[in-house]
Structure 1
Amino acid sequence: MEKEINEINKDELILKEYRKLKRIMKPVGKEQIKAIDDLLQRLAFMTITLSDLENDVKENGAIVLFENGKQLMRVENPAQKSYNTMINRYNALYSTILGYLAKAIEPEKAKQVSDGFDEFVGGGR
Protein backbone atom coordinates (compact mmCIF):
# COMPACT_ATOMS: atom_id res chain seq x y z
CA MET A 1 0.00 0.00 0.00
CA GLU A 2 2.79 2.43 0.92
CA LYS A 3 4.58 1.84 -2.39
CA GLU A 4 1.38 2.66 -4.28
CA ILE A 5 1.07 5.93 -2.39
CA ASN A 6 4.71 6.79 -3.17
CA GLU A 7 4.18 5.96 -6.84
CA ILE A 8 1.11 8.22 -6.97
CA ASN A 9 3.10 10.95 -5.25
CA LYS A 10 5.92 10.55 -7.80
CA ASP A 11 3.45 10.73 -10.66
CA GLU A 12 2.05 13.95 -9.19
CA LEU A 13 5.54 15.41 -8.79
CA ILE A 14 6.45 14.46 -12.35
CA LEU A 15 3.22 16.04 -13.66
CA LYS A 16 3.89 19.20 -11.65
CA GLU A 17 7.45 19.40 -13.04
CA TYR A 18 6.17 18.76 -16.58
CA ARG A 19 3.64 21.61 -16.27
CA LYS A 20 6.38 23.91 -14.97
CA LEU A 21 8.57 23.07 -17.97
CA LYS A 22 5.68 23.72 -20.38
CA ARG A 23 5.13 27.16 -18.80
CA ILE A 24 8.83 27.95 -19.15
CA MET A 25 8.73 26.87 -22.80
CA LYS A 26 5.71 29.03 -23.67
CA PRO A 27 7.77 31.43 -25.86
CA VAL A 28 8.64 28.48 -28.12
CA GLY A 29 5.05 28.27 -29.39
CA LYS A 30 2.37 25.61 -29.26
CA GLU A 31 3.42 23.76 -32.40
CA GLN A 32 7.06 23.37 -31.36
CA ILE A 33 6.03 22.44 -27.82
CA LYS A 34 4.00 19.60 -29.35
CA ALA A 35 7.14 18.50 -31.19
CA ILE A 36 9.26 18.44 -28.03
CA ASP A 37 6.53 17.27 -25.65
CA ASP A 38 8.11 13.83 -25.20
CA LEU A 39 11.40 15.50 -24.32
CA LEU A 40 9.67 17.65 -21.70
CA GLN A 41 8.03 14.58 -20.20
CA ARG A 42 11.37 12.76 -20.04
CA LEU A 43 13.05 15.78 -18.49
CA ALA A 44 10.33 16.00 -15.83
CA PHE A 45 10.75 12.29 -15.07
CA MET A 46 14.52 12.62 -14.88
CA THR A 47 14.27 15.65 -12.57
CA ILE A 48 12.17 13.75 -10.03
CA THR A 49 14.22 10.57 -10.37
CA LEU A 50 17.48 12.46 -9.86
CA SER A 51 16.01 14.00 -6.75
CA ASP A 52 15.15 10.53 -5.40
CA LEU A 53 18.62 9.20 -6.20
CA GLU A 54 20.22 12.23 -4.59
CA ASN A 55 18.18 11.68 -1.42
CA ASP A 56 19.26 8.03 -1.33
CA VAL A 57 22.93 9.01 -1.59
CA LYS A 58 22.51 11.65 1.12
CA GLU A 59 20.84 9.10 3.39
CA ASN A 60 23.05 6.07 2.71
CA GLY A 61 26.28 7.64 1.46
CA ALA A 62 28.18 7.21 -1.80
CA ILE A 63 29.82 4.01 -0.54
CA VAL A 64 27.75 1.21 1.02
CA LEU A 65 28.50 -2.17 2.56
CA PHE A 66 27.63 -5.07 0.28
CA GLU A 67 27.28 -8.62 1.52
CA ASN A 68 27.92 -11.51 -0.84
CA GLY A 69 27.55 -14.70 1.17
CA LYS A 70 30.18 -14.48 3.93
CA GLN A 71 32.07 -11.76 2.16
CA LEU A 72 31.47 -8.13 3.20
CA MET A 73 32.84 -5.35 1.02
CA ARG A 74 32.45 -1.64 0.44
CA VAL A 75 31.06 -0.71 -2.99
CA GLU A 76 29.73 2.36 -4.74
CA ASN A 77 26.10 2.96 -3.85
CA PRO A 78 24.01 1.82 -6.86
CA ALA A 79 21.99 5.04 -6.48
CA GLN A 80 25.23 7.02 -6.87
CA LYS A 81 26.11 5.10 -10.00
CA SER A 82 22.63 5.66 -11.48
CA TYR A 83 22.76 9.33 -10.52
CA ASN A 84 26.12 9.83 -12.23
CA THR A 85 24.86 8.22 -15.43
CA MET A 86 21.53 10.02 -15.46
CA ILE A 87 22.87 13.49 -14.61
CA ASN A 88 24.93 13.51 -17.82
CA ARG A 89 21.92 12.59 -19.92
CA TYR A 90 19.79 15.10 -18.00
CA ASN A 91 22.25 17.89 -18.75
CA ALA A 92 22.33 16.98 -22.45
CA LEU A 93 18.52 16.91 -22.65
CA TYR A 94 18.23 20.17 -20.71
CA SER A 95 20.69 21.83 -23.10
CA THR A 96 18.66 20.63 -26.08
CA ILE A 97 15.46 22.04 -24.64
CA LEU A 98 17.13 25.33 -23.71
CA GLY A 99 18.32 25.56 -27.30
CA TYR A 100 14.70 25.61 -28.46
CA LEU A 101 13.94 28.31 -25.91
CA ALA A 102 16.94 30.40 -26.94
CA LYS A 103 15.90 30.26 -30.59
CA ALA A 104 12.41 31.43 -29.65
CA ILE A 105 13.70 34.29 -27.50
CA GLU A 106 16.29 35.62 -30.00
CA PRO A 107 13.69 37.17 -32.32
CA GLU A 108 12.16 38.88 -29.29
CA LYS A 109 15.55 40.37 -28.41
CA ALA A 110 15.96 41.62 -31.98
CA LYS A 111 12.64 43.46 -31.74
CA GLN A 112 13.81 45.42 -28.70
CA VAL A 113 14.97 48.94 -29.40
CA SER A 114 18.71 49.35 -29.05
CA ASP A 115 20.07 51.91 -26.60
CA GLY A 116 23.28 52.09 -28.65
CA PHE A 117 25.51 50.61 -25.97
CA ASP A 118 26.19 47.34 -27.79
CA GLU A 119 27.07 49.20 -30.96
CA PHE A 120 29.37 51.53 -29.01
CA VAL A 121 31.17 48.69 -27.20
CA GLY A 122 31.30 46.49 -30.28
CA GLY A 123 32.63 49.25 -32.50
CA GLY A 124 29.42 49.59 -34.51
CA ARG A 125 29.19 45.94 -35.59
Structure 2
Amino acid sequence: MQNSKKSYEELETAQKIEENRKKIRKLFRELPKEKMQFAEGLIFQFCVTTVTLERLVDEINTSDVIENFKQGAQELRRENPALKSYNTTIKSFTALSKSLLDLLPETTQKQAGEALMNFATKPPGAAKK
Protein backbone atom coordinates (compact mmCIF):
# COMPACT_ATOMS: atom_id res chain seq x y z
CA MET A 1 0.00 0.00 0.00
CA GLN A 2 1.39 3.36 -1.02
CA ASN A 3 1.61 6.05 1.66
CA SER A 4 0.61 9.32 -0.01
CA LYS A 5 0.90 12.38 2.13
CA LYS A 6 -1.96 14.84 1.75
CA SER A 7 -1.19 18.39 0.78
CA TYR A 8 -1.91 21.07 3.36
CA GLU A 9 -5.08 22.13 1.50
CA GLU A 10 -6.44 18.57 1.62
CA LEU A 11 -6.13 18.26 5.39
CA GLU A 12 -9.15 18.56 7.66
CA THR A 13 -9.26 21.59 9.95
CA ALA A 14 -8.16 19.62 13.02
CA GLN A 15 -5.24 18.12 11.05
CA LYS A 16 -4.14 21.58 9.88
CA ILE A 17 -4.19 22.82 13.45
CA GLU A 18 -2.08 19.86 14.59
CA GLU A 19 0.42 20.27 11.73
CA ASN A 20 0.78 23.96 12.58
CA ARG A 21 1.08 23.21 16.31
CA LYS A 22 4.00 20.84 15.71
CA LYS A 23 5.84 23.44 13.62
CA ILE A 24 5.24 26.37 15.95
CA ARG A 25 6.10 24.34 19.04
CA LYS A 26 9.64 23.93 17.66
CA LEU A 27 10.18 27.69 18.02
CA PHE A 28 9.57 27.35 21.76
CA ARG A 29 11.46 24.12 22.51
CA GLU A 30 14.06 25.99 24.59
CA LEU A 31 11.47 27.39 27.04
CA PRO A 32 11.70 26.32 30.68
CA LYS A 33 9.12 23.69 31.64
CA GLU A 34 6.94 26.10 33.66
CA LYS A 35 6.70 28.53 30.72
CA MET A 36 6.15 25.74 28.22
CA GLN A 37 2.99 24.61 30.00
CA PHE A 38 1.54 28.10 29.53
CA ALA A 39 2.91 28.34 25.98
CA GLU A 40 1.19 25.10 24.92
CA GLY A 41 -2.24 26.69 25.33
CA LEU A 42 -1.19 29.83 23.51
CA ILE A 43 0.38 27.82 20.70
CA PHE A 44 -2.81 25.81 20.25
CA GLN A 45 -4.94 28.98 20.19
CA PHE A 46 -2.48 30.61 17.77
CA CYS A 47 -2.83 27.64 15.42
CA VAL A 48 -6.63 27.60 15.67
CA THR A 49 -6.65 31.31 14.92
CA THR A 50 -4.27 30.89 11.97
CA VAL A 51 -6.41 28.16 10.39
CA THR A 52 -9.55 30.21 11.04
CA LEU A 53 -7.97 33.19 9.31
CA GLU A 54 -7.08 30.99 6.31
CA ARG A 55 -10.70 29.84 6.07
CA LEU A 56 -12.01 33.39 6.40
CA VAL A 57 -9.62 34.68 3.73
CA ASP A 58 -10.85 31.97 1.35
CA GLU A 59 -14.45 32.97 2.08
CA ILE A 60 -13.72 36.68 1.61
CA ASN A 61 -11.83 36.07 -1.63
CA THR A 62 -14.65 34.00 -3.13
CA SER A 63 -17.46 36.36 -2.07
CA ASP A 64 -18.30 40.00 -2.34
CA VAL A 65 -16.97 42.26 0.39
CA ILE A 66 -20.30 44.11 0.37
CA GLU A 67 -23.30 41.89 -0.23
CA ASN A 68 -27.01 42.28 -0.77
CA PHE A 69 -29.04 41.18 2.20
CA LYS A 70 -32.78 40.70 2.42
CA GLN A 71 -34.57 40.96 5.74
CA GLY A 72 -38.31 40.70 5.39
CA ALA A 73 -39.41 43.23 2.79
CA GLN A 74 -36.21 45.27 3.08
CA GLU A 75 -33.22 44.83 0.82
CA LEU A 76 -30.01 46.14 2.28
CA ARG A 77 -26.30 46.11 1.56
CA ARG A 78 -23.96 44.98 4.29
CA GLU A 79 -20.40 44.04 4.93
CA ASN A 80 -19.76 40.35 4.37
CA PRO A 81 -20.02 38.59 7.79
CA ALA A 82 -16.77 36.75 7.02
CA LEU A 83 -15.00 40.11 6.79
CA LYS A 84 -16.31 41.11 10.21
CA SER A 85 -15.15 37.78 11.62
CA TYR A 86 -11.76 38.22 9.97
CA ASN A 87 -11.30 41.65 11.54
CA THR A 88 -12.14 40.26 14.99
CA THR A 89 -9.96 37.17 14.54
CA ILE A 90 -6.94 39.15 13.33
CA LYS A 91 -7.01 41.08 16.61
CA SER A 92 -6.91 37.82 18.55
CA PHE A 93 -4.09 36.61 16.31
CA THR A 94 -2.08 39.75 17.05
CA ALA A 95 -2.61 39.42 20.81
CA LEU A 96 -1.67 35.73 20.75
CA SER A 97 1.47 36.48 18.73
CA LYS A 98 2.55 39.10 21.24
CA SER A 99 1.82 36.81 24.20
CA LEU A 100 3.86 34.01 22.66
CA LEU A 101 6.78 36.26 21.82
CA ASP A 102 6.78 37.72 25.33
CA LEU A 103 7.51 34.23 26.69
CA LEU A 104 10.82 34.11 24.85
CA PRO A 105 14.12 35.64 25.92
CA GLU A 106 14.68 39.02 24.28
CA THR A 107 17.55 37.67 22.19
CA THR A 108 15.31 35.17 20.37
CA GLN A 109 12.12 37.25 20.19
CA LYS A 110 12.92 38.94 16.87
CA GLN A 111 13.88 35.69 15.14
CA ALA A 112 10.82 33.85 16.48
CA GLY A 113 8.60 36.81 15.63
CA GLU A 114 9.75 36.71 12.03
CA ALA A 115 9.18 32.94 11.93
CA LEU A 116 5.66 33.32 13.37
CA MET A 117 4.76 36.02 10.87
CA ASN A 118 6.20 34.03 7.96
CA PHE A 119 4.29 31.00 9.15
CA ALA A 120 1.02 32.89 9.39
CA THR A 121 1.35 34.92 6.20
CA LYS A 122 2.73 32.07 4.12
CA PRO A 123 0.91 28.95 5.29
CA PRO A 124 2.05 25.59 3.92
CA GLY A 125 0.77 25.15 0.39
CA ALA A 126 -0.16 28.81 -0.09
CA ALA A 127 2.19 29.27 -3.02
CA LYS A 128 0.76 26.24 -4.81
CA LYS A 129 -2.62 27.85 -5.47
> Normalising by structure 2, what TM-score?
0.69
**SS at 2:48's partner residue?**
helix
Q: Does 1:57 align with 2:60?
A: yes
Equivalent residue for 1:75, pick from 73, 78, 97: 78
In the TM superposition, what is the alpha-carbon distance from 1:101 to its structure 2 partner?
Answer: 2.3
Aligned alpha-carbon RMSD (Å): 1.9
Larger Rg: 1
> Normalising by structure 1, what TM-score?
0.71
Counterparts of residues 6-45 of structure 1 (less than 5 Å): 9-45=12-48
Structure 1 or 2: larger helix share? 1
Q: Deviations over 1:22-64 (max 9, x none)?
A: 0111232444212221111111100000110111111102211
Gaps of 5+ in 1: 1-7, 107-125
Are the counterparts in 1 of residues 53 and 86 from structure 2 also a CA contact under 8 Å? yes
Are the counterparts in 1 of residues 66 and 79 from structure 2 also a CA contact under 8 Å? yes
CA spacing shift, 1:60–1:80, aligned 2, 3 Å: same
User: Partner of 2:100 in structure 1?
Assistant: 97
Between 11-20 and 22-31, the greater mean CA deviation after superposition: 22-31
Are the counterparts in 2 of residues 53 and 83 from structure 1 also a CA contact under 8 Å? yes
- Aligned pair count reads 99
Gaps of 5+ in 2: 1-10, 110-129
CA spacing shift, 1:60–1:91, aligned 2, 3 Å: same
Between 64-73 and 11-20, the greater mean CA deviation after superposition: 64-73
CA spacing shift, 1:102–1:62, aligned 2, 3 Å: farther
**SS at 1:83's partner residue?**
helix
In the TM superposition, what is the alpha-carbon distance from 1:70 to its structure 2 partner?
Answer: 2.8
Determine the C-alpha separation between the residues in 2 that align with 1:72 and 1:94: 40
